[in-house]
Chains A and B, each alone.
Chain A
């Protein structure tokens, strides 16, 4: 009996996704990219090779030494509700997305283009506009005060929201998407599912795409799950306050030297992380070895200079695994003579040390560095367009020891047998608009 061959991708079917976070909250960092990237597009996007490519803008030019940028919009694009994409709509969306904290000074609609002006040169603006923060949302979908996205979510992307029911967010294909209708008819995203339950649902065919945290990658492989994994894109770092006791730069440098990254990688993250003392991973720069990541407790004690600072509070953001990582770091710091207490999970109390994880939003190294610095509230320095210039910017910031890079972690998902052509974006988000189902009708 002949067996069916693999064909071009099929149209149709419903893909079921399960995640730990809130499927509905488009502003939740980890999940937002998944949903936002399906509903919205940016003016630009980052291609698989890391280059900036046209999206809602078809071309752009810079003038006045990168102080003025003009982006021309793709003609004939409509939002999923049928309204035309105009330069005014783009201006409203971009202004609403960042409010007073925009990286540019002003953005204006000019004919079928939008013009950005800045006080300082922005050579990386096209790459920056590909980021999740600057996706184009139709006016009325944004809370102008907070910049957060409200329902209904109206964008130009491959899918549109069909509402939330029984904790399941349903997205349906946008037939008039400028990139072409997606292969899938529908995506159902169920939030607040424990990893164990996600994997169980995958195994019995109730889910097609589930999460695999980095520390569970080995376990997933042992269970023979079909895993798609990104390069290391999530930076786990220790944010150190530069006020109070820690205003002393030697104490911050001592903390940086006291952390045992190898133990974090080996014990907590099951050797799935890439140890780093640089903000950008080696795959993007090739020079991360210039930032030594070895622990040196003796030198840390020496830098502390006999000072015994008051008890420091360390708070982790995220899962129970992050809480374990915080406990481990506290242990390291105590060995170097610091008194450290770990805040309870979910605590909002003041912390001297915070363990955040930031996503590498671009595979363009300059845009990625700018985005990381903005995420931690640091004004973006002018970055020279050379590897040496990039290294200098990174080096200068890390010398402040206000953010201590620890590990780069991959993002991973397990997929069911009927899913095909599922790839991850440069920042590890599943590209569901290009995926299809083998058994679609």
Chain B
């Protein structure tokens, strides 16, 4: 018996970079380019004539899109003189819609007698982004920026996006395709940072300057003419301002000492609140009927408020993660605490809570995030939040989180 041979097609035909999530609705024209590329490759092997076309789907492309892909392929083949005919044809084109972890791969096995030749087209998948609606107050997110570099904190000014990374400050400016990197300034630490590093950035009221803190260092930036920024960093062990903008005059600044060798604040704050605070990861100033109160998330997992010179535990925080911030939503009581979830990397979320007494009451449905929330803070106006999310692939995403009243 003559052995069937399998040949490969020299050269790979690069398909278009197509963004489409597996679960998304079909987008007109989405499959045009890869279908055309695959038809080109098939026609190059087969030449004009008839062939039986079979198709199978091993990918996550929804089944209801397969007939449309087949029609596209038949049309494109026809334009090359290849007619997809019935079962009686001697030649067979066996198309498999496949995929790997990174991209879709469309493979055509062109069978002429005992000879099989293979053509491949790859199609990059996109990513679906979907905000999850809740009941009552609804949280929504908008992705501002994605990067492969670790993000500790972000500041958005009218003409710049300042990103605090573990070892540098990145200044981004508006560009045609979104934020474009303008410059990076090294922070210049002389000792390695701890794992799970943290950072803080605050702006002046007019957005013309900023102060950024990472473990053991402080950076100052001033806006210059023509969109430039002058940034200078130096070693600094001063406490970090954690609750207000750098030149707010109407409320006292609260600063906290950060443990540069670990990932938390020591519990020593200035000015003193008259109570010994435990080491904590997060702090937020929360307005309630009796006035402002400080909420802290201790490294022991307890969430407590400072009330009348005493620390009191808050119930209902079992599902909270390590980050929370206050959101001035204007809904319900006006302000809510938004806390990250306690889930693993693939299942983190944000959820708003009311805090009428000493128990946190859910005020929204969880908003699913595409990874682990690693930082959460409000911009100066407090009407939204910034959330940094580390995705499963190690990319960082900066989201703006807003609330709408239902």
Stretch from B132-140, B249-257, B299-307 forming part of the interface with A: B299-307
Q: Which chain B residues (67-123) contact chain A, with CB distance < 8 Å? A: 96, 98-105, 107, 109, 118-120, 122
A319 at the interface (CB under 8 A from B): no
Residues of B within 8 A of A183 (CB): 195-196
State which of A5, A289, A392 has its C-beta within 8 Å of the C-beta of B318.
A5
Residues of A within 8 A of B12 (CB): 384, 386-389
Residues of B within 8 A of A48 (CB): 392-394
A179 at the interface (CB under 8 A from B): yes
B192 at the interface (CB under 8 A from A): yes
Residues of B within 8 A of A11 (CB): 194, 262-263
User: Scoring A residues 145 to 161 as 1 if CB is less than 8 Å from chain B, else 0, what string do you get?
Assistant: 00000000000000000
CB-based nearest A residue for B301? A4
- A5-B319, A389-B12 known; A283+B100 contact, CB < 8 A: yes
B268 at the interface (CB under 8 A from A): no
Stretch from B1-9, B154-162, B199-207, B229-237 forming part of the interface with A: B1-9
- Residues A286 and B297 in contact, CB atoms below 8 Å apart: no
Residues of B within 8 A of A76 (CB): 190
- A7-B299, A11-B263, A388-B9 known; A181+B194 contact, CB < 8 A: yes
A2 at the interface (CB under 8 A from B): yes
B395 at the interface (CB under 8 A from A): yes
A109 at the interface (CB under 8 A from B): no
A375 at the interface (CB under 8 A from B): no
Instruction: State A91–B360 Cα separation when bound (angstroms).
Output: 58
B168 at the interface (CB under 8 A from A): no
Residues of B within 8 A of A404 (CB): none
Instruction: State A392–B313 Cα separation when bound (angstroms).
Output: 64
B321 at the interface (CB under 8 A from A): yes
User: Scoring A residues 1 to 31 as 1 if CB is less than 8 Å from chain B, else 0, what string do you get?
Assistant: 1111111111100000000000000000000
A62 at the interface (CB under 8 A from B): no
State which of B107, B120, B122, B394 has its C-beta within 8 Å of the C-beta of A47.
B394
Residues of A within 8 A of B344 (CB): 421
State which of A4, A287, A389 has its C-beta within 8 Å of the C-beta of B105.
A287
A379 at the interface (CB under 8 A from B): no
A285 at the interface (CB under 8 A from B): yes
Residues of A within 8 A of B197 (CB): 180
Residues of B within 8 A of A421 (CB): 344-345
State which of B10, B104, B192, B393 has its C-beta within 8 Å of the C-beta of A177.
B192
- A76-B190, A395-B6, A434-B195 known; A285+B301 contact, CB < 8 A: no
- Residues A391 and B118 in contact, CB atoms below 8 Å apart: yes
B213 at the interface (CB under 8 A from A): no
Query: In whole Å, how far is B37's beta carbon from the nearest beta carbon of chain A?
Result: 12
A178 at the interface (CB under 8 A from B): yes
A63 at the interface (CB under 8 A from B): no
User: Scoring A residues 46 to 69 as 1 if CB is less than 8 Å from chain B, else 0, what string do you get?
Assistant: 011110010000000000000000
Q: Which chain A residues (285-330) contact chain B, with CB distance < 8 Å? A: 285-287, 289-290, 302
Residues of A within 8 A of B192 (CB): 176-181
- Residues B299 and A10 in contact, CB atoms below 8 Å apart: yes
A131 at the interface (CB under 8 A from B): no
CB-based nearest B residue for A288? B98
Residues of A within 8 A of B194 (CB): 11, 180-181
State which of B105, B190, B263, B394 has its C-beta within 8 Å of the C-beta of A49.
B394
Instruction: State A53–B149 Cα separation when bound (angstroms).
Output: 11
Residues of A within 8 A of B273 (CB): none
B58 at the interface (CB under 8 A from A): yes
Query: In whole Å, how far is A392's beta carbon from the nearest beta carbon of chain B?
Result: 5
B315 at the interface (CB under 8 A from A): yes
- Residues B100 and A286 in contact, CB atoms below 8 Å apart: yes
CB-based nearest A residue for B303? A5
Query: In whole Å, how far is A284's beta carbon from the nearest beta carbon of chain B?
Result: 6
State which of B9, B102, B196, B320 has its C-beta within 8 Å of the C-beta of A9.
B196
Instruction: State A9–B323 Cα separation when bound (angstroms).
Output: 12
CB-based nearest A residue for B317? A5
Instruction: State A290–B110 Cα separation when bound (angstroms).
Output: 12
State which of B105, B109, B190, B323 has its C-beta within 8 Å of the C-beta of A285.
B105
Q: Which chain A residues (358-410) contact chain B, with CB distance < 8 Å? A: 363, 365, 384, 386-389, 391-392, 395
- A9-B263, A387-B120 known; A423+B8 contact, CB < 8 A: no
Instruction: State A5–B320 Cα separation when bound (angstroms).
Output: 5
A126 at the interface (CB under 8 A from B): no
- Residues B6 and A289 in contact, CB atoms below 8 Å apart: no
- A8-B281, A387-B12 known; A284+B100 contact, CB < 8 A: yes
Chain A to chain B contacts (Cβ below 8 Å), 6 pairs: A3-B318, A5-B301, A7-B299, A387-B122, A392-B8, A433-B195
Q: Residues of B at under 8 Å CB distance from A?
A: 1, 6, 8-12, 58, 96, 98-105, 107, 109, 118-120, 122, 190-197, 261-264, 281, 297-303, 313-323, 342, 344-345, 392-395
